[in-house]
A and B are shown apart, each in its own frame.
Chain A
Amino acid sequence: MKLRPAALLPLAALTLLLGVLLSLALGATDIPLADAARLLLRPDDSTDSLVIHTLRLPRTLVAALAGAALGVSGLLLQGVTRNPLSDPGILGVEAGGALAILIMVVFLPTAPAALFVPAAFLGGLLAAAAAYGAARTAGVTPLRLALAGVAVASLAAAATRAVQILFEERAQGALFALSGSLAGRTWEQLAQIAPWLGGGLLLALLAAPRVNVLTLGEDVARSLGARTERDRVIVTGLGVLLAAGSVSVCGPIGFVGLIVPHAARALIGPDHRLSLPLAALLGAAFLTLADTAARLIDRPAETPVGILVAAVGAPVFVMIARRVGRRT
C-alpha cells in the first residue's frame, strides 16, 4: 500500500512533532503534554521550564538530528552499494568512527571536541574501505559486503575495547560521547554536530537524483551520462559523514540506518527524491521516540538508547538478510 507522497511527508513530520513533544514531556518527572508545549514556546522561571529548555530540548534535538542522519546515511549507503543490508552500523562505519574518536582522545588529549566529527569521518571512511576491500577480494555480493562489514565492525570494536583497557584513565574523556546513549546531551554538543549534520542532510537532498541514477547500476548509469565514479564517491562520503556526525555525539547506535530506509522505501517507493526526506523524518522520529522509551524503562536511571534500538533492529536485520539470501 502506497499513500500519496503529499500525505506521507506531512504525516511523518507530524509523527516527529509528537515524538519531540513526548520527549520533552516524559522523563524523571512527567510534565503534562500541553504544559510541555506551552513551556516550549513561552519559557518561564519554573523548574519544569528549566528542565525542558536546559536538559530535554537539547537532548531531543540531538536525538532528532542523529536519527535523521543515520536514516539518511543508511539510505545513501544502501543506494550506492545497491545492497539492502547496507547500514552504517553493519558496514563498520560507526565502529570505525568511534575507534577514531577514542584514539584521538587518548593520543591527542589536547584536540578540541570540534575535531570529533572529522576524526569519526576519517575512521568511518577507513572502515568502509576495509569492508569493501575485504568483500571485493571474493566478489562483492550484498551478503558478502554485510559479512565483511560486520567483521570490520567487530575488529574496530575490539580495538576500541583494547585502547580503553590499556589507557583506562585517558579514555575517560571519550566514553561519554561514545556511550550509545543520549543522556545528558547539551546545547554544546548539539552545536558541535549541527553544522555537519545540517549541511550533510541538505547536500544529501541535493544528491538524491544522482543516487537514483546510481541505483540503476553501473552500465545504465553510465549510458545515461552519469559520472558514476565521482557520484559514488560523493554519495558514499555523505553517507559516512552523516554517520560520523551522529557517532561523535552519541556513539555507535546500530540498525537505525537499516530499519528506517527500508520503512521509507516501503512507504513511498524507490525514488530517492521522496524517500530521502521521508527517511530523515522517520529516522528523527524513531530515535526521538526510542530515546524517550529508553528513559522510561528504568527511571530515573537511564537505559542507553543503543541497547533498545538493537533489540528492535536485530530481528529486522535477520528478516531482511533472510529475504536477500533467498533471492540470491
Chain B
Amino acid sequence: MPDRSMRPAHLLTALLPALLLAPGASAAPVSVPTDRGTLSLPAPARRVVALEYSFVDTLLALGVRPVGAALGTQGGDRGAPPYLRPKVGGIPHTGSRGQPSLEAMAAARPDLILADALVHKDSAAGFGRLAPTAVFPSRRADLDELNNQTLQIGRLVGREAAARQLLADQKTLIAKARAFAKKNAPTFVAGVVTPTSFTVHTQGSFAGSFLEAVGRRNAVPVRDGQTQFETSLEGLVALNPQTLVLFTAPDEKPVTDTWAKNPLWQKLSAVKRGRVYTFDRDDWTRGRGPTALKLMTAQAIESRFLQDAAPARGYQYQP
C-alpha cells in the first residue's frame, strides 16, 4: 500500500533510486499498450493469473511464478503442453482457458490477470472487476506479436530487462538456426491435424511465422483475415505442398491417416519427395512462449526440416 501521508517531494525522493535503477524490479507505476488500450498499474504486478499457456510460459521464463493459471481441462482443453507440464506443478488451476473459474481466480488474489483477445473476448470485462486485466491476442498472433507480448508482460511484472534479454537470446538462437536452412528450399505447408480436421497455419500464425523466421518459406498467406483455416484433402491437393509439416498429438489418430489411404495422398509433392515432418501439436502451437520457442528451434534443426533433408527419426510421418 502506498503511504498516503507522504508528500509529493518525499515520494519523488523515495522513488528516485528506483527510477534510476529501472528497468530492474522496481515499484514505479507501469503502463503498457494492450489490445484494449493502455493498461496502467500503480506498481509492477506480483500476483499474476495467466489464462493462456503462452502467458504461463512467458511468466516462468521471466522468473515469475503465476499464482493461478488456466491449466484445467474443462470443456475439452488438453491441459498444459508436454514441455510445460513439469514446470507448472503446484500452480493452482483457475479452470481451463475456455472456461475460467472466476471463483478460483478471485481466490488467487491476483493483482494482474493476463487474458486472450479471442477466447476471453466477452469475459475479460468480468475479469476486470477482480483485478486489472491485460488482454493480448495470444491465440491468433504471429511470432513478432508474441515476442512483443513478452516485452509488455515483462514491463507489467517489472522485469523488462529480463524480457529484453530473453528476446535477445532468442534472436541469437534464431540466427544460428537460419544458418542450417537450405537456401532456396521449396515452400512448405504446415497444419494442425486432429482426428477430424486439418487446419492450415498460414504465414500469419504463430507456428507458421516461426518456421519462416528460421529460414523456410510458408506457401500459404493469411486468407481473408484468417491466420488459420480448415481444409480438406481436396484443399490440400490444391495447395500441393512441396514440404508438409504436420502438428499431431501422440494420443490421437490424425485425419491424415485416413487421407493417406487415398491415392491422391501419394500425388502430393511433399509425399513424393519424402518431406513430411511431424511435431507435437501441443508443444508447437499451444505453448507460444520463449521456452516453447527454444524447443521449437532445436526441433526444427534436429528434424532436418530446415535443411530440407529427409526427416530424422521421430519426426517422420508414418500413417
Interface of A toward B, CB cutoff 8 Å: 27-29, 47, 50-51, 54-56, 165, 168-169, 172, 175-176, 183-184, 298-302
Q: Ordered nearest first, which 5 A-B pairs have the shortest CB separation?
A: A300-B235, A28-B238, A28-B235, A29-B238, A168-B76
State A279–B96 Cα separation when bound (angstroms): 49
- Residues on A with C-beta less than 8 A from B235 are 28, 299-301
Interface code B224-252, partner A: CB below 8 Å = 1, 0 otherwise?
10100111111101110000000000000
| Closest B residue by C-beta to A171 | B76
Distance between B34 CB and nearest chain A CB, rounded to angstroms: 30
Known: A28-B238, A29-B238, A176-B196. A50 touches B263 (CB 8 A): yes
- Residues on B with C-beta less than 8 A from A168 are 75-76
- Residues on A with C-beta less than 8 A from B76 are 168-169
Are B230 and A54 neighbours in the complex by a CB distance under 8 Å?
no
Q: List 30 A-B contacts (CB under 8 A).
A: A28-B231, A28-B232, A28-B234, A28-B235, A29-B234, A29-B237, A29-B238, A47-B237, A47-B267, A50-B262, A50-B263, A51-B237, A54-B263, A55-B233, A55-B234, A55-B262, A55-B264, A165-B75, A168-B75, A169-B76, A172-B195, A175-B196, A176-B196, A183-B232, A300-B235, A300-B238, A301-B229, A301-B231, A302-B230, A302-B232
- Residues on B with C-beta less than 8 A from A56 are 234
State A299–B239 Cα separation when bound (angstroms): 12
Which of B224, B234, B235, B262 has most chain A Cβ within 10 Å?
Answer: B234
| Closest B residue by C-beta to A46 | B267
State A27–B230 Cα separation when bound (angstroms): 14
- Residues on B with C-beta less than 8 A from A299 are 235
The total of interchain contacts (Cβ-Cβ below 8 angstroms) comes to 55
Distance between B49 CB and nearest chain A CB, rounded to angstroms: 25
State A51–B232 Cα separation when bound (angstroms): 11
Known: A172-B195, A172-B196, A301-B229. A47 touches B264 (CB 8 A): yes
Distance between A230 CB and nearest chain B CB, rounded to angstroms: 44
Which of B196, B230, B237 has most chain A Cβ within 10 Å?
Answer: B237
State A300–B263 Cα separation when bound (angstroms): 20
Interface of B toward A, CB cutoff 8 Å: 75-76, 195-196, 224, 226, 229-235, 237-239, 262-264, 267
- Residues on A with C-beta less than 8 A from B264 are 47, 50-51, 54-55
- Residues on B with C-beta less than 8 A from A29 are 234, 237-238
Distance between B254 CB and nearest chain A CB, rounded to angstroms: 13
Q: Which residue of B226, B229, B234 is within 8 Å of A51 (Cβ)? A: B234
Distance between B317 CB and nearest chain A CB, rounded to angstroms: 20
- Residues on A with C-beta less than 8 A from B234 are 27-29, 51, 55-56, 300
State A37–B62 Cα separation when bound (angstroms): 62
Known: A50-B264, A50-B267, A54-B264. A184 touches B237 (CB 8 A): no
Distance between B106 CB and nearest chain A CB, rounded to angstroms: 25
- Residues on B with C-beta less than 8 A from A28 are 231-232, 234-235, 237-238
- Residues on B with C-beta less than 8 A from A165 are 75
Distance between A23 CB and nearest chain B CB, rounded to angstroms: 12
Are A300 and B231 neighbours in the complex by a CB distance under 8 Å?
yes
| Closest B residue by C-beta to A55 | B234
| Closest B residue by C-beta to A298 | B224
